[in-house]
Amino acid sequence: MKAYKAAKEYGFVNARIRGHLARSLSIADFERLLCSKDYKKFIGALRGTRYGPVISAATPAELPSPEELALVLAIDYANVSHRLTRSLSGKVRRFAESYSLVFLIEGLKTVIRGKHVGLGKGQILRFVVPTSPAQSRIFAQLLETENVEKLIEKIPILDLKVALLTRLPAYKEFDSAAPLEVALEEWYLRKIMASLEEFSSEDKQRIVQLQEARVDLRNVIMMLRALILGFNQRMINASMVRFTEDSQAFGDSIRQRDSWSGVLMQLRKTRHTGMATRLRRIYANTQDLAEIELAVEDYLAQQIKKQITGFPFHLGTVIGFFNLKYLEVRNLLSIAVGLEKGEPASIIRQMITIW
């Protein structure tokens, strides 16, 4: 009975998602794009994929710049997302809209981080992945401001602005964007939890566990960075994301560790045992936090991918599609920027997430 109800509720949207996923770029497609000799060849190769008509319809330019390409891809994402969201029922639609805020949050983190370290508007926009023309305009307008404080004042979402203003004293005290990134993440998590109130405990648990993985692993990265940079305890506390009781308990367990191996030992006690072993091996061999970050993003992408395999009639299918579509757009922009800067394929390959 439960399976029948789930199939009835998610059946139509699942069919739409399967159709979209069938048109996604394959690993072979990404390899061909990566092997482009230069940016012009990349655009030519991209026109040979499903994005060819999208580019032609959106811009008359034969060779759109990476910034123009970002807007083209944002328009396509927004169109696909809108068509899919229209097919959802009331509570599922409200959840999808709340979940999609994660992409706004990731963009704002990039904007704030770039503004904090003094990068120019053009430099920052190359690393932002908008998912709609409206987001593109917001990011561009925010980057017209003089500094981070002025940027926060221009944010058009009132409760998000308030959340950031609350952490502004910590930003100034520590001269770090980390407290503001925590404010963004916790605001988004509150939105997600509020949107789950109408769902069954099974659906809630599925989504909460995915968010816990995101929070816990990113807190691990933060703690490793804190150990490398010598953060004091107050700065560590201001840089840790708080979520569920289980997640906060894990955060408490790692914030007292005084070595990277101690942090990863705590991670081994969670359901991410295999990932902890992998991270331990990577860091022991490289001592490179960037390698840890890449491994975590890859792991989270694989966890998302699992949501659209097996029995597909649940909320995880919806967020799985939005995430994989976002990763596809982000990968394309990473390749575009890398090739335009003349980076070799071996370097660019490390910047993308293949699922």
Q: In the chain, what are the domain boundaries?
A: 1-87+325-355, 88-198, 213-309
pLDDT score of 3: 52
pLDDT score of 351: 84
Number of residues that this document lists for the chain: 355
pLDDT score of 288: 94
If you average pLDDT over every residue of the chain, what do you get?
Answer: 90
Contact 260, 196 (CB under 8 A): no
Burial (CB < 10 A; 0-12, 13-18, 19+), residue 248, is middle
Q: pTM surpassing 0.85?
A: yes
- C-alpha–C-alpha distance, residues 327 and 204, integer Å: 24
Could you tell me what percent of the chain has a pLDDT over 90? 69
pLDDT score of 318: 83
**Tens digits of residue pLDDT in 294-342:** 999 999 988 888 877 765 667 788 888 888 889 999 999 999 999 999 9
- C-alpha–C-alpha distance, residues 275 and 255, integer Å: 19
Statement: 1-87+325-355 belongs to CATH 1.10.132.50: yes
- 210: CB partners within 8 A, 6+ apart: 303, 304, 307, 316, 319
pLDDT score of 200: 87
Q: Which residue numbers in the chain have pLDDT < 50?
A: 1, 4
- 302: CB partners within 8 A, 6+ apart: 355
pLDDT score of 8: 57
Contact 76, 68 (CB under 8 A): no
